[in-house]
Amino acid sequence: MGHRYQHIAFGETALARQRTAGSIVAYGAGLETPDEGPQEITSRERRMLTDAFAFHLATVTPSGWPYVQYRSGPRGFVHHLGGSRFGFADFRGNQQFVSVGNLEADDRVALFVADYPRKLRLKVFGRATVVDADDDPALLAQLTTVDAGRIAARCERSIVIDVEAFDWNCSRSIVPQYTEDQVRERVAPYVEQIHRLQDEVAALKRELNR
């Protein structure tokens, strides 16, 4: 799997606090060996990313500040392009081009992906490339294709991310949240049962009124 996440994320001040707290025992093992390069993506990470309908994307501004944006689409809008490479179609936005501009100056990105019903969260470090629609229309066509058909929103470019490191967080502090579709799916058996009982009550009333 590799320990590149620790090498990227843990600075000297963080490590100093870990030593004081004693948590270095849990986290520091990966730093005993040299950085071996990008971590290998497994089926678990692939599923988490390609099943997502939303995530937060952080880029770096020219002045060094982190900049976070929310990205969403139909489930499956994040595509696995092989190996550690993933991509998604970038929708037309407010024309500020902050994230895109940041990436063209510094390709480093961080992703925060959460599955709230299952209380899972994945943190990803990677390097991103901006590919305008005119430069690779076939790629954008691929990224705008999902199981439900084609993405209806206007897409102007592709964002391709080569994952370098990732880390799964514990679920302790995650509050489960559900989309409208997820709520509908979960209550469907109870709605069917209510309708069935209503039909039975109606039938019994008809029998009594004969």
pTM: 0.84
pLDDT at 132: 94
Going by C-beta distance under 8 Å and a sequence separation of 6 or more, which residues neighbour residue 43? none
Identify the CA nearest to 143 among candidates 131, 97, 47. 131
* Three-class secondary structure assignment of 154-198: CEEEEEEEEEEEEEEECCCCCCCCCCHHHHHHHHHHHHHHHHHHH
pLDDT at 148: 76
pLDDT digits (tens, 9 = 90+) for 65-87: 999 999 999 999 999 999 999 99
pLDDT digits (tens, 9 = 90+) for 159-191: 999 999 999 987 777 888 887 888 888 888 998
In whole angstroms, how far apart are CA 40 and each of 82, 84, 127? 12, 7, 15
pLDDT at 2: 60
* Residue 1 predicted with pLDDT over 60: no
Percent of the chain exceeding pLDDT 70 equals 99
